[in-house]
Structure 1
Amino acid sequence: MAQPQIVDLTEIPPVACPCGSARRALSDFAEFPGTVHLTDIVASAHRHHHEHHTEIYVILQCDDDAAIELDGVRTPVSPLMLVAIPPGVVHRAIGEMRVLIICHPEFDPTDEVLGEA
């Protein structure tokens, strides 16, 4: 029988990503077909897309003028908004923010395709 997991995301070492830095969890939890990331996004975040991943961003904290850019269209965001990003959509966050990202299927860094900054 599967066992539950309790994860303190702040204890996971951050890794660099096109957005800033991410703390990725649950890659070893077979009962969940994805990963969960606590991501600190910096103002210099890069446009990118994923060929296979769907990402759900839950905005936890953000600058007052923060936005999300999806296929070139900017939309203002605020804490506790959710953004669902299907595969192929070129995206980036604008402004500093902290987001919880639910990624399906499990995150694979080779699925990240960078665009121009």
Structure 2
Amino acid sequence: MSHSVTENSVTNKSTADKKYQVVDFENLAGVPCPCGSAKRAFAENEHSPGTVHVTEISDDARVHYHKEHTETYYILECGPDAKMQLDDEQVPIRPGMCILIPPGVRHRAIGQMKIINIVVPKFDPADEYFD
């Protein structure tokens, strides 16, 4: 026996009483950031210790750092010559790699790429610093 869920039954259910939250990144608007454009999830969820971003990084990403945030980049897509600048080092990257960037590490992506960025504590644009 097959069960089907209609569009109405999904969209009319209240999620206010749920302990979980589902985010469809296809429905989130991108926000400009020093790296390019980021779609950010879970900022409003009181139970989430951080935020999750899907970020499209442009060629002109700016070097920046955070005093509070720890970022974890998971590389989804990038060109063959893509790198991450981490302080004074340029690290070659490829899809499937993951990079932990603690507070104080100056960083930027070099080359176009698409990443998942997990930010703890929750992202706050006031915690972006430029030299």
Cα distance in 1 for partners of 2:49, 2:39 equals 17
TM-score by length of 1: 0.94
Per-residue CA deviation, residues 30-55 of structure 1 (Å, 9 max, x unaligned), is: 22111000000001100000010000
Larger relative helix fraction: 2
Listed as ranges, the matches of 1:1-117 within 5 Å are 3-115=19-131
Specify the structure having the higher radius of gyration (Cα).
2
* Structure 1 position 104, deviation (Å): 0.3
* CA RMSD, Structure 1 to Structure 2 (Å): 1.1
* Structure 1 position 2, deviation (Å): 5.4
Identity of aligned residues (%): 47
Structure number with the bigger relative contact order (C-alpha 8 A, sep ≥ 6) is: 1
* Greater CA drift, 30-39 or 92-101: 30-39
Q: Given residue 44 of structure 1, which amino acid in structure 2 is its aligned partner?
A: D
* Structure 1 position 10, deviation (Å): 2.1
Cα distance in 2 for partners of 1:102, 1:77 equals 18
- Runs (4+) of structure 1 exceeding 4 A deviation are none
Cα distance in 1 for partners of 2:32, 2:127 equals 15
Cα distance in 1 for partners of 2:97, 2:66 equals 21
The runs of 5 or more residues in structure 1 that have no matched partner are none
SS in 2 for 1:110: helix
TM-score by length of 2: 0.85
Instruction: Check the 8 A contact 1:68/1:91 in 2, yes or no.
Output: yes
Q: Given residue 61 of structure 1, which amino acid in structure 2 is its aligned partner?
A: E
Larger relative strand fraction: 1
Q: Given residue 60 of structure 1, which amino acid in structure 2 is its aligned partner?
A: L
